[in-house]
Amino acid sequence: MNKRAKKRIYLDYTSSTPVDPKVSLSMKKIEKLCIGNPNALHEEGRNAKKVYENARKSLANNLGAKSDEIIFTSGATESNNLAILGLYESLKDEYKKKGKTPHIISSSIEHKSVLEVLKHLESKGVKVTYIDPEKDGTLPYKIIRKSLTSETMLVTIMHANNEIGTINDIEEIAREVRHARRKLGMAIPGTPYFHTDAAQSVTYVPIDMEKVGVDLLTLHSPKIYGPAGIGLLYKRRGVNISPIIFGGGQEEGLRSGRELPILAHGFAESFTIAKKEMNKEVVRLTKLRDYFFKEITKMIPNAKINGALISRLPNNVNVCIPDIDAEFAVIGLDENGVACSSASTCMNTSEESYSYVLERIYGDRSCAASSLRFSLGRYTTKSEIDDCLKILKKVLLLQWNK
Ligand code: PMP
């Protein structure tokens, strides 16, 4: 690492976490066992397959799931697509036969990898109900019960929001879904199903699939200090989905494509470490986050914290600083050694890089265009926060004095 890189303050763990050195080392060690294609019949293939299946077993154990409920994917976008599109593809003919219209309930502040799939399905005639957040970013769960109908195929609500860090009560949502399944005389037996995107929450909120009552769940390795290029979809036994990628029939035909044992191994290792460190990290990061909030509101009295203060990820700091241009601030901070974000990083590829999540919450774009997200992580220290605040002051003064 060069001198300049050493001095940087990385506060964008929500976008991507660095790979834990223990994970890198473990991946390096396993490399020699992963020469072959896990589907090959020779010893090299069998060794690689063993590594791959051990990783699946470890991830399943850590989730309270069974190995055959884990489908490896390339990441959270693919897992979300597979869950929603895969379910639709498997059920669409049944709806058609019965003259019914599939209905999905979601929220307007989901990640784009859910919202864009829903938009695509709407163009095919699927009905979608989007629940809007309250002013503090939480979702009014009561509306879910009111929106459920006998034609509801799926409820897809994320576990924790990637921009404002609010944590949804997925057990309560799962209860509502089960209640509908029993009471509403569903058009298609087994529906509605519940999918949640837990890409951001799994490092900080314990999830036990045996207890939580979720049917489909998305996880992503590069959000939990594992390697990029791999994620998973948990699919409860008995839930049928169709593939959306076709080829050699890997993952029980649900996700064709070369299996990636080294990445799967790293993903599994990172989950084991994250689970072990969870309690300690939640306490440590909550303290750091609240210190950040206290200091930033002391420094800028009209700064407003976006999102709820309770039921919030311990690493999420998202603040609206009136009269600043967030994008310029992010560039200024970067020039001065701080990495943070002004909206979901995925929005940087679109023309409108403001936060649609904050726009939904406040009803206009002013706060969305002047909000900064700092996301803390395993290697964040208090002195980094202090340095970041000093740099932020300098960057903002430059903007205000222009
Ligand atoms: N869901 C959530 C909650 C996310 O935070 C992200 C990444 N920001 C994704 C899905 C998509 O991840 P990727 O594009 O890396 O697959």
Residue 364 is predicted with a pLDDT of 83
Which ligand 1 atom sits closest to the C-alpha of 344?
8
In the predicted model, is pLDDT for residue 208 greater than 80?
Answer: yes
Residue 282 Cβ contacting ligand 1 at under 6 Å: no
In the predicted model, is pLDDT for residue 11 greater than 70?
Answer: yes
Written as one string, the DSSP assignment of 142-183 is HHHHHH--TTEEEEE--SB-TTT-BB--HHHHHHHHHHHHHH
Residue 103 Cβ contacting ligand 1 at under 6 Å: no
| Helices and strands in the chain: count of H runs, count of E runs | 12, 12
Q: Where are the domains of the chain?
A: 9-19+278-400, 21-272
Residue 77 Cβ contacting ligand 1 at under 6 Å: yes
Rounded to two decimals, the pTM is 0.95
Q: For the segment 231-246, what is each residue's pLDDT rounded down to a tens digit?
A: 999 999 999 999 999 9
Residue 7 is predicted with a pLDDT of 84
Give me the helices (H) in 64-111, please.
76-97
Residue 353 is predicted with a pLDDT of 65
Residue 104 is predicted with a pLDDT of 98
Mean pLDDT of 142-166: 96
Mean pLDDT of 326-330: 94
In the predicted model, is pLDDT for residue 89 greater than 90?
Answer: yes
The mean pLDDT value of the chain amounts to 94
320: Cβ contacts below 8 Å, ≥ 6 apart: 303, 304, 305, 306, 358, 367, 370, 371
Question: What band does 14 get if pLDDT is binned at 50, 70 and 90?
Answer: very high
Question: What band does 399 get if pLDDT is binned at 50, 70 and 90?
Answer: confident
**Kind of pairing between the strands at 316-320 and 371-375:** antiparallel
Question: What band does 349 get if pLDDT is binned at 50, 70 and 90?
Answer: low
Residue 28 is predicted with a pLDDT of 98
Question: Tell me: domain 21-272, CATH 3.40.640.10, correct?
Answer: yes
281 CA distance to ligand 1 centroid (A)? 22
- Measured distance CA(338)–CA(326) in Å, rounded: 14
In the predicted model, is pLDDT for residue 21 greater than 50?
Answer: yes
165 CA distance to ligand 1 centroid (A)? 13
- Measured distance CA(78)–CA(113) in Å, rounded: 8
191: Cβ contacts below 8 Å, ≥ 6 apart: 91, 152, 153, 154, 181
- Here the tokens at position 341 are 């974000």
In the predicted model, is pLDDT for residue 355 greater than 50?
Answer: yes
Q: Which fold has domain 9-19+278-400?
A: Aspartate Aminotransferase, domain 1 (3.90.1150)
Residue 343 is predicted with a pLDDT of 64
User: What's the DSSP call for residue 48?
Assistant: H
402 CA distance to ligand 1 centroid (A)? 36
Q: For the segment 262-308, what is each residue's pLDDT rounded down to a tens digit?
A: 999 999 999 999 999 999 999 999 999 999 999 999 999 999 999 99
Residue 351 is predicted with a pLDDT of 54
Residue 346 Cβ contacting ligand 1 at under 6 Å: yes
In the predicted model, is pLDDT for residue 6 greater than 60?
Answer: no
320 CA distance to ligand 1 centroid (A)? 23
Mean pLDDT of 197-216: 96
CA-closest candidate to residue 33, choices 48, 18, 53: 48
Percent of the chain with pLDDT over 90: 90
Q: Which residues pair with 128 in a beta bridge?
A: 104
Q: Which residues pair with 317 in a beta bridge?
A: 374
Q: For the segment 367-378, what is each residue's pLDDT rounded down to a tens digit?
A: 889 999 999 999
Q: Which helix (H) or strand (E) holds 270?
A: helix 261-299
Which ligand 1 atom sits closest to the C-alpha of 228?
15
Question: What band does 1 get if pLDDT is binned at 50, 70 and 90?
Answer: very low
Catalytic residue among 320, 340, 346, 388: 346
Catalytic: 34?
no
C-alpha 17: how far from chain center: 12
Of all protein residues, the one whose alpha carbon is nearest to atom 5 of ligand 1 is 162
